[in-house]
Structures are given as structure tokens and as C-alpha cells.
A and B are shown apart, each in its own frame.
Chain A
């Protein structure tokens, strides 16, 4: 059986440090758009940490929730793309093919999680930041949609390596950049088709919920939380 990549986000462990956000930018050549553009809502964060405040001072509680592409099995963004730039690959990933994208931005509207980002201008890096670019990841030009890929370049690199070494992939052998950089180990990544992998085990936890699961998107990211967002204990 092939792989089916999934992720678990443990909200009881997340501290909101946003190391995952920074690591993702570095790994995937995500451009900065400048202060003016960011003010109009055009900043690109393939993974973002949402913060919500509850209550009045001094009884304020902060909740963090990292949101990234949920790699939905019934992704609304896939059906609406006219050029198959967004489609479901055999390993369960929602693949974004930059070359096919003509920029209708329909997928961005259809995604209920708003995890899709658009290149409004050609990206630019001030010197010497271009030296830090990752050669494994292509740069996206103006007019192309992009989003979290579960670091597909790392997935492919690992698969090529184990095939050359004629062995099976071990659980935890590689991780996307966000998972790798998470200090409290709130993010876990792995193969959902392997029942013994840590991600499969955690996904079966009774603390697990799916974000906007009622919409029928069948996301492959499971969120763990001891209590529900309304404060009920699980």
C-alpha cells in the first residue's frame, strides 16, 4: 500500500512560539511582501498560528492554533481549479502544480480554511537574502497560487533515498520543516496508512477533532485538545 501523509497538531503542547512559521518560510522560499502589502492582507504564511483571546482582563486566556493546508481528501479547492493545478496526488496530498496555475484564484475562495496564498507580484529578495534560498523548491512567479505542500520536496527526497537503498521508510525518518522545528513537539507527521506510526496512533486519540470537520472536507490534519474550544473537558 502506498503512503498517505497526515499530521497531528497537539494544541495542549503548542506554545505559540511560531518557530514553525519561520522554518516554513526558510524551507519553502516564501517571499516577504513588504509592510504596505502585508497591511492589505497579502502576506504569505503557509503555516500560521492563529491567536484568539477569551475573557476580559485580568482573566484573559489565549488560545493558539497552527493552521496549515489540511490536505483534504474531499478538497473543495481541487474540484474548482480549471487547469488541474490543484489535484489529489496518489499519496493523498493536495498537490499544487505551479506551472498549470493561471491565477483564477477560485481555489483560494473555495478553501474554507483560507490556507491558500497568491503571488500578487513577482517575488523579490533583498540581497543577501537570496543566498538563503532552498535549491530544492521552485520560486513561484506572479499570478500563481501556493500553499503548504507538507514539504513535498523532503517527502520525495526521502522516497528516492530509500528506493536507492532498497529498504522501507521508517516512521520519523524525515519531517517537514515545521515539524522539525517545533520545540514542544506539538506537530507530528507521518504515514496514516501505517497503523504503527506515531501520527496514526495520535490521530486515533479521544482528544482528536478535525477543524471544520462538519463541512465534509475530510482533512488529514487532526487537532488534539483536552477540552473543546467552548471549555468542555473531553
Chain B
């Protein structure tokens, strides 16, 4: 049981902002180079024409749209942890909440790049935005791509606010502890925060309102992304199950992404006392539930297709079950179910390491699932004479790898400017659970708060 004073907590959580070790650069530089390579590949693609990618008729969408759906899916991590657990008053969420919200903002930003990257004429992407112009035309709001634009804009605005607002009090703390250029920077960022009860109350009310709003937005975002496929008459796309399937899959991959991020932070920022086994255990249990939910949706979709026995759908069905996409399909089942299920369901096996292994395989499996939804259906549409195949080129692979590296670089930079665990929320939560004095609340807060050594009343009062 670790006992820490509030100041010790602040010092530890602020350490990454003031000290940078060589390990940071060993991680940052290769990732940054990969990002540059991806950018170079994109410039190459725009210069030479989108044909340098592997997409072709009839598979007009490939890696780029897979990545788009994948990253938007990952972004549901923050909504689940921050918003849903906040409304459910789950106090164990407090150390985890900012890690999750950061994933949301960065994953959304990366995901939102792909609709631009995959365009044939990307320099005209802004034509999707409704603004008065002399082309005598407005965008077509009947197109699911316009719904994507509005949904992602709304979700991004909401998520950025959700992330930035609770950081302001922490920036105020840094402002008061920093010197030099950091003091100037954080004074500007803290927006004059002082910490009056009115400011705290307004902030918490705003967080509550946004938590209530952001959950339906997150559900709608991934439903709308799924409707990019479901609204087209393509075999095995045109299915009513797509919206709930995608939302469940998003939350699934989001939790997995969060667990992996937390494991990295725990190891490299030495946050073992803050990101505790109980957090990984709770998230692991949520992940287990999502494994089962994913299985449920996949079986529902495939069973109804099989019973329906429509020739165009069955062509795609067999392609993934037994045909050329079968190896990827069964790999996906192994990654999404066969490996994670025993690791997460059996209590003895559910350790931090096994949860991270399960999460990693799930991330791979969910990427494959997006790929297998998009490509086999397009490869085998209604007229067999026009069936085709798909093979990605180095351009698509480089850009894909680059976006994963981009996520890493953004996260590393973030950790240097913002404490990755919300200091005031953590302290407030510890104080409240200590005051609550119940065995359950103490079990969740294995970190104990101790009064300052120079407190005037009783010197060392350990709040039990």
C-alpha cells in the first residue's frame, strides 16, 4: 500500500514534463522518421497519381478506408472510459481517463486524414464543406460521406473540449511550479485559472453535460461510418446489422488500444502505483464482454447470410470462409476470440501481461475485420465477369505504418506537455473514497493520501 502526500503525487505525475531521458529520444526519433516516410509516400502519390496505390476496379477502396474505419473505431476508447464511466460514477476511472481521452483525440485526427488521403483529387477535398461558392453547387447531403464529415467534426470538437477542459487546472499547477519558457507557455495555456469554487463547479458541470452529449455522438459517428458501406447495394454490405456491429467493434478496439497505451505508460513513465493491476483487471473484464459481443455480432451476421442463401451474398461469404480470404478470416477469429477469450475469462490468467497480449491481438484482429468487411465484398459483386482482387503497394503500406507511428509520436509529445494522469481528479477521487470509509472504496484506492508533514493540526494523519 503506497502512502503519498498530495505534493508527492504532483511531483511524480509532473516529472515527465520537466525531465526528459535518452529513452524518449530512442523512442521518438524512429517513430518520427516513419511519419516522415509516410508523408513522403503521400506526396509521391499526389504527384504521380493515385494509381501508385494498389486499389483498382472493382476494389475501389482498400487499405486507406480500412485505416479510416479502424482509427475512428480506436477513438471510441475515450468516450467509453471518460464519458460512460464518469456518468456511472466508477471511481477507478480517474487515473485512466486522460490516457483514454488523448487516444480519442489523436485517433480521430488520424482517422479523419484518410478520407483526404484516398481521394483521386485530394487538393479539392474542401469541396465537401458547404460554403457559398461560384460553382453554383452545394454538397450532396444525401451522401453518407457528408454525414461522415458532420459526425466527425462534431465528435472531434466534443472530444477536444472533453480532453482540454480538465487539463486547465493541471496547467495552472504547472504554471506555478515552472520557470523560464515553461512558465510563459503554461501561463498562457492555463487561461487565468485560479480555482474558485465557482470555476470548479462550472468545469464539472460542463464535463457532465459533455459526457451526456458525447455518448450519443460516439454511437452516431461509428454508425454513420458503417453506413458508408451499408447504404450501397453491395453483397454483404447492405445489411441492417452494420451500425450496431461497427459501434460494438469500435468500443472493442478502443478498449484494447487503451490497455496497450496504459501498459506503455506504466512501464516507461514508471506509473506502477497509479495504473494498478485493478485497472487492467477491470478493463480486462470489459474487454472480455466485448469479445463475446463481437462474437455474437459476427455469428448473427454470418448465420443470417448463410440461411438467406442469396447467390451474390454467398459468393462473398464463401470467399471469406473458404476462399482466398479464408486465411485472413480465420486469423481474425483467432486474434479476436480464440486468444483473448481464455486469457481474459480465466481469472488466474488475467494479469497485466496477458491483458496486454489479448489487447494486441485484438488490435490486429480488428484491423483485419475492417479489411475483410471492405475488400472481399468489393472483389465479388453481382456480375462475375467483373470480379477482381486487391493487393496493396508500398505506398499504402508505408502510409499505414506511418499512421501508427504518428499515433506514437503524438502521444509521446503529449506526455511531455500534459500530465498523463489527471492530478486534480486523482486527488479528489482518493480523498472522496477515503472519506467514504467503505471497504469497497478503499479497495479501489490502494493509493493513500497523507497530510503534509508541516500540517498544523495533526502531523501525520493517514486517511483510512
Which of A100, A113, A120, A141: most chain B Cβ within 10 A?
A120
Binding site for A on B (CB under 8 A): 48-51, 54-58, 60-61, 115, 118-122, 124-125, 127-128, 135, 137, 139-140, 142-146, 228, 231-234, 378, 381-386, 388-389, 391
Cross-interface CB contact of B50 among A50, A109, A116, A142, cutoff 8 Å: A142
Asked if A79 is an interface residue, CB under 8 A from chain B, the answer is: yes
B-contact 0/1 string along A39-71, CB 8 Å cutoff: 011100000101110000000000000010000
Asked if A160 is an interface residue, CB under 8 A from chain B, the answer is: no
Q: Which residues of A contact B228 (CB under 8 A)?
A: 106
Asked if A110 is an interface residue, CB under 8 A from chain B, the answer is: yes
Cross-interface CB contact of B140 among A50, A81, A112, A141, cutoff 8 Å: A81
B-contact 0/1 string along A70-93, CB 8 Å cutoff: 000000100111111000000000
What's the nearest-Cβ distance from chain A to residue B267, in Å? 41
Cross-interface CB contact of A50 among B60, B146, B383, cutoff 8 Å: B383
Whether the pair B128, A82 counts as a contact (CB closer than 8 A) is: yes
Q: Interface size bucket, A side? A: 35 or more
Q: Can you name the residue of chain A whose Cβ is closest to the Cβ of B387?
A: A114
Q: Lowest 10 A-B CB distances belong to which pairs?
A: A103-B120, A143-B120, A120-B51, A143-B121, A121-B49, A114-B386, A105-B60, A50-B385, A110-B232, A82-B145
Whether the pair A82, B51 counts as a contact (CB closer than 8 A) is: no
Whether the pair A76, B232 counts as a contact (CB closer than 8 A) is: yes
Whether the pair A120, B140 counts as a contact (CB closer than 8 A) is: no
Whether the pair B56, A42 counts as a contact (CB closer than 8 A) is: yes
Whether the pair B121, A103 counts as a contact (CB closer than 8 A) is: yes
Q: How far is the CA of A85 from the CA of B121 in the complex (A)?
A: 13
Total A-B contacts with CB atoms under 8 angstroms apart: 142
Whether the pair B57, A42 counts as a contact (CB closer than 8 A) is: yes
Q: Can you name the residue of chain A whose Cβ is closest to the Cβ of B53?
A: A120
Q: Which residues of A contact B135 (CB under 8 A)?
A: 100
Whether the pair B58, A41 counts as a contact (CB closer than 8 A) is: yes
Q: Can you name the residue of chain B whose Cβ is closest to the Cβ of A84?
A: B140
A-B contact pairs, 16 of them (CB 8 A): A41-B56, A41-B58, A82-B139, A82-B140, A100-B137, A103-B122, A105-B60, A105-B120, A109-B378, A112-B233, A112-B234, A112-B381, A114-B386, A142-B121, A143-B49, A143-B122
Q: Which residues of B contact A50 (CB under 8 A)?
A: 383, 385-386
Known contacts A102-B125, A114-B383, A144-B121; A120 and B50 CB within 8 A of each other: yes
Q: Which residues of B contact A120 (CB under 8 A)?
A: 49-51, 56
Query: Secondary structure of the A side of the interface?
Result: loop
Known contacts A81-B143, A118-B120; A142 and B49 CB within 8 A of each other: yes
Asked if A104 is an interface residue, CB under 8 A from chain B, the answer is: yes
Q: How far is the CA of A48 from the CA of B137 in the complex (A)?
A: 33
Within A192-216, which residues are at the interface with B (CB < 8 Å)?
A: 212, 215
Q: Which residues of B contact A106 (CB under 8 A)?
A: 143-145, 228, 232
Q: Can you name the residue of chain A whose Cβ is closest to the Cβ of B126?
A: A102
Q: Can you name the residue of chain A whose Cβ is closest to the Cβ of B115?
A: A104
Whether the pair B381, A215 counts as a contact (CB closer than 8 A) is: no
Q: Which residues of A contact B145 (CB under 8 A)?
A: 80, 82, 104, 106
Whether the pair A102, B57 counts as a contact (CB closer than 8 A) is: no
Having A41-B58, A102-B119, A108-B57, one finds 12 other A-B pairs with CB under 8 Å, namely A41-B389, A79-B143, A82-B143, A103-B50, A105-B60, A106-B228, A109-B232, A112-B383, A119-B120, A120-B50, A120-B51, A121-B51
